[in-house]
């Protein structure tokens, strides 16, 4: 009965809100980027619930949308080029996770270069979380929450969910509890998400300004098996611009960028270094690869 009530509540929410209005939940993530280090890092992430689905991602690029839009308008008016990558703060994580309501099927995607245009390589799955609920309750920020535990991705997790927020959703891939997850962390505290607040976002646009100005936009979604995704993504991280370089002639690589002293080749080299640094900054994945898990 409670599941039926939750489903009906979600349907009512979408009926009363325009499709372009999202309910945005802000989760602060505290995590260990290096598995052999005690150093902790923090980043704000967001869960946007809109139009029969939710979208979870790093908030960094979204937060810079207004600044980026102003910079682009300035370049258009002046007719000059400016390398915006140096002014923009890079996100800690590049993935995007979309969950379809009410099945909670997950689509996990990463944007990768594919010649002159990007693609969003993705895989689909429906994680089966076997939650164990406990009567213990605790106040998490302003939210009254109840305890639950599960195992997922080679880790044991403790979650706290709020029945007052009738979304069976949460950060990352987590879902399936009778209320929104307001905090979830693994037992070794490698990853800990905690809800900091929420707000309505009118005229919601899933694409960020950076995605809009990229050649080819955000890129088409290419769905593959998870095994093929992981193999392709590992290869991409080792040489992220191999497909792009193969389409560039030496003459093009030596051309100067408009409004810049750098050549196209130098710009690509700089971007390649930033991309590799981005992926090398974290060797402690949320989900432990199975082969590593078996060795333990």
pLDDT digits (tens, 9 = 90+) for 149-173: 999 999 999 999 999 999 999 999 9
Number of domains in the chain: 1
Domain extent at residue 135: 2-295
Inform me whether the pLDDT recorded for 19 exceeds 70.
no
Q: What is the pTM of this model?
A: 0.81
Tell me the pLDDT band of 18, cut-offs 50, 70 and 90. Answer: very low
Tell me the pLDDT band of 280, cut-offs 50, 70 and 90. Answer: confident
Residue range 208-221: average pLDDT?
Answer: 68
pLDDT digits (tens, 9 = 90+) for 49-88: 998 999 999 999 888 877 766 666 666 666 666 666 666 6
Closest residue by Cα to residue 49 from 122, 99, 15: 99
The better pLDDT of the pair 274, 145 is held by: 145
Inform me whether the pLDDT recorded for 2 exceeds 80.
no
pLDDT digits (tens, 9 = 90+) for 88-114: 677 889 899 999 999 999 999 998 876
Hey, which of 110-114, 139-143, 250-254 has the most confident mean pLDDT?
A: 139-143
How much of the chain exceeds pLDDT 90, in percent? 51
């Amino acid at each position: 009965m409670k599941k039926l009530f939750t489903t009906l509540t979600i349907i009512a929410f979408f009926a009363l809100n325009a499709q372009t209005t999202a309910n945005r939940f802000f989760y602060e993530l505290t995590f260990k980027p290096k598995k052999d280090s005690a150093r902790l890092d923090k980043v704000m992430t967001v869960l946007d619930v809109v139009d029969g689905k939710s979208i979870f991602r790093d908030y960094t690029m979204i937060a810079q949308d207004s600044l980026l839009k102003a910079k682009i308008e300035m370049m258009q008016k002046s007719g000059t080029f400016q390398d915006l990558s140096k002014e923009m703060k890079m996100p800690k994580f590049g993935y995007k996770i979309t969950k379809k309501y009410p099945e909670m099927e997950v689509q996990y995607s990463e944007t990768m270069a594919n010649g002159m245009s990007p693609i969003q390589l993705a895989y689909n799955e429906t994680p089966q979380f076997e939650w164990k609920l406990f009567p213990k309750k605790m106040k998490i920020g302003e939210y009254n929450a109840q305890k639950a535990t599960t195992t997922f991705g080679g880790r044991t997790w403790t979650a706290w969910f709020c029945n007052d927020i009738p979304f069976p959703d949460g950060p990352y891939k987590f879902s399936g509890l009778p209320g929104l997850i307001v905090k979830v962390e693994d037992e070794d505290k490698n990853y800990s998400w905690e809800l900091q607040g929420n707000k309505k976002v009118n005229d919601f646009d899933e694409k960020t300004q950076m995605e809009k100005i990229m050649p080819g936009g955000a890129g088409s979604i290419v769905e593959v098996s998870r095994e093929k995704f992981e193999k392709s993504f590992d290869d991409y991280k080792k040489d992220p611009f191999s497909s792009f370089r193969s389409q560039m002639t030496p003459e093009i690589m030596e051309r100067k960028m408009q409004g810049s002293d750098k050549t196209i080749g130098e710009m690509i080299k700089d971007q390649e270094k930033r991309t590799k640094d981005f992926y090398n900054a974290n060797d402690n994945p949320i989900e432990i690869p199975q082969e590593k898990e078996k060795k333990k």
